């Protein structure tokens, strides 16, 4: 839980609050604050870090009412999505890009999620990176729901995915709905059967009611394969099949082609991600992408109308608009 029920923490929080007011609203130096609080300057430094990390201090950047960058305008015009281009040095490698885009998203995610909302989230390296940096924001009666199963041949998936889920839930004080199924069933019939279970039906119903969906993109045939493709969720036969079917990527382990279509891809019959129709009904659909290698996948996702808000690094944004 996020709230400090611990009375010992309460003092710390109160001090952090005071320190923040003195530092950010009155421009005192940490030295001066230390005196007022009867502690050492370094403790004040730590208090302030704590205040920022817990979301007590909230730093927002507001583009002067409009003035989206040329790139953002261009993307808006061509694809009808609100783009947020994250400035990243051109010579940063893909890992850095991912990390920096994720960090930026983590810091402003609170602007999209509030009390009484349901947020669906996928899992994967992008989501993992985001989860590690979210600035907390207290909410009431809100829920985080997992979009797709995460088990594979070797584990039930309750480690990796639930760690991500947990961090989101924790940061927002939200209730977490896990999805304790494998990413792919061996037999489509198992899925059909399980989906009729009331516990599963309830969860899927909840996915249908979500207010925000947050996801990265998978891209099977790129140099940097995403988690799904490296984690033992698929075997070589599956891969070949995807290739034959013309798949360019996936969202929450639902595969799609360059034109955004998902029909006739057998693997989807065994997968556990939400039907794209469900996503399309979600009011806000936030996609986080970094690295040129995900471009084909991104194009497909845009065709499929999966995205309302797109976060991507500058290089990828440029590449996206560089084609006719």
Choose among its own copies, DNA, none what residue 100 binds, the Cβ cut-off being 5 to 8 Å by kind.
its own copies
Choose among its own copies, DNA, none what residue 264 binds, the Cβ cut-off being 5 to 8 Å by kind.
none
Between residue 21 and residue 50, which ones bind DNA under the rule CB under 7 A?
A: 23, 29-31, 39-43, 45-46, 48-49
Report the C-alpha gap between 95 and 92 in whole angstroms. Answer: 8
Report the C-alpha gap between 164 and 158 in whole angstroms. Answer: 10
Beta bridge mates, 118: 143
Strand 247-251 to 254-257 pairing: antiparallel
Closer residue to its own copies in complex, CB, 24/221: 24
CA dihedral 70, 211, 157, 53 (to 10 degrees): 70
141 binds DNA (CB under 7 A): no
In angstroms, the first-to-last Cα distance of the chain is 49
8 binds its own copies (CB under 8 A): no
> Using an 8 Å Cβ cutoff, are 279 and 298 in contact?
no
Between residue 12 and residue 71, which ones bind its own copies under the rule CB under 8 A?
A: 13-14, 17-18, 20-22, 24-27, 35-36, 55-65, 67, 69
Number of C-beta neighbours around residue 269 at 10 A: 14
Closer residue to DNA in complex, CB, 15/245: 15
Tokens of 273: 């991600």
Closer residue to DNA in complex, CB, 46/132: 46
Between residue 255 and residue 274, which ones bind DNA under the rule CB under 7 A?
A: none
Between residue 46 and residue 75, which ones bind DNA under the rule CB under 7 A?
A: 46, 48-49
Owner of token pair 């595969």: 255
Report the C-alpha gap between 244 and 251 in whole angstroms. Answer: 19
Tokens of 114: 């509030």
Q: Site map for its own copies, 111-150, x if CB under 8 A?
A: ---------------------------x------------
Q: Which residues would be at the binding site for its own copies (CB under 8 A)?
A: 3-4, 13-14, 17-18, 20-22, 24-27, 35-36, 55-65, 67, 69, 86-87, 89, 100, 103-104, 107-108, 138
């Amino acid at each position: 839980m996020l709230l400090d029920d611990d009375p010992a923490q309460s003092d710390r929080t109160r001090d952090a609050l005071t320190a923040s007011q003195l530092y950010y609203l009155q421009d005192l130096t940490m030295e001066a604050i230390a005196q007022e609080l009867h502690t050492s300057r370094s403790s004040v430094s730590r208090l302030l870090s704590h205040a920022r990390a817990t979301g007590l201090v909230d730093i927002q950047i507001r583009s002067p009412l409009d003035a989206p960058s040329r790139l953002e305008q261009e993307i808006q015009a061509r694809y009808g999505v609100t783009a947020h281009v994250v400035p990243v040095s051109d010579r940063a490698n893909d890992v850095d890009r991912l990390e920096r885009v994720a960090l930026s998203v983590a810091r402003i995610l609170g602007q999209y999620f509030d009390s009484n909302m349901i947020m669906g989230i996928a899992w994967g390296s992008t989501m993992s990176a985001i989860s590690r940096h979210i600035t907390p924001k207290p909410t009431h009666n809100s829920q985080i729901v997992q979009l797709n199963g995460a088990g594979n041949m070797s584990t039930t998936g309750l480690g990796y995915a639930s760690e991500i889920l947990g961090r989101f839930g924790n940061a927002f004080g939200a209730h977490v709905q896990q999805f304790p199924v494998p990413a792919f069933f061996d037999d489509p019939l198992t899925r059909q059967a399980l989906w009729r279970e009331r516990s599963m039906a309830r969860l899927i119903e909840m996915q249908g009611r979500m207010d925000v969906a947050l996801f990265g993109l998978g891209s099977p045939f790129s140099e940097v394969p995403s988690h799904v493709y490296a984690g033992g969720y698929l075997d070589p036969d599956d891969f070949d099949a995807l290739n034959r079917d013309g798949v360019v990527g996936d969202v929450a382990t639902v595969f799609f082609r360059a034109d955004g279509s998902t029909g006739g891809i057998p693997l989807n019959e065994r997968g556990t991600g939400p039907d794209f129709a469900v996503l399309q009904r979600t009011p806000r659909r936030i996609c986080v992408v970094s690295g040129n290698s995900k471009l084909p996948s991104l194009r497909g996702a845009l065709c499929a109308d999966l995205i309302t808000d797109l976060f991507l690094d500058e290089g990828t944004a440029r590449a996206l608009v560089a084609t006719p």
